[in-house]
Amino acid sequence: MKVREVFLVDDDFIFREAAEVLITSSGLTEKVLHFENGLEVYNKLVELSEAPEHLPEIMLLDINMPVMNGWELLEELRMEKSVIRDYVQIHILTSSIAPEDLNLSKEYEFIDGYITKPLTRADLKKLSQSVVAEE
């Protein structure tokens, strides 16, 4: 199942660039939007929540980022209008293998997945299947 748009939130431009190639070539989507940190994507999401049909179907979110990290963003989203949480599938995408991070992610019931880097084709296949399942 192809989605219209994916938000990719990561402070590492190498990763974003490589991940975009992988995502588009996997056929999940043709449109990947880059964000460098939590604050940038937060502002965009709030803006789009006025017109929910423009929200992305999927957001891949890194944890360790400057300015506003992944957890801080999730805290903000928890306070926001539920339309963002309802519409956007949020998947953590991190290089952390610390169990604390995985456990912490379980405290956010609106998180749909937890992927450990490197991002693989298998991950993306699962992702596209989960979108089918939801719809």
Taking contact as CB under 8 A, which single stretch among the options 41-49, 59-67, 79-87, 126-134 is the one that binds other proteins?
Answer: 59-67
Select from 28, 98, 41 the least CA-distant residue to 70: 41
Could you say whether residue 125 binds other proteins (CB under 8 A)?
no
41 exposure class (CB count in 10 Å sphere: 0-12, 13-18, 19+): buried
- Residue of 33, 44, 96, 128 that binds other proteins (CB under 8 A): 96
Q: Tokens 């402070």 sit at which residue?
A: 11
Q: Which is nearer to other proteins, 80 or 98 (CB)?
A: 98
Nearer to other proteins (CB atom), residue 83 or residue 113: 113
Query: Min. distance of Cβ 115 from other proteins in angstroms?
Result: 11
Q: Is the dihedral of CA 49, 60, 107, 73 positive or negative?
A: negative
Is residue 2 part of the contact set for other proteins (CB under 8 A)?
A: no
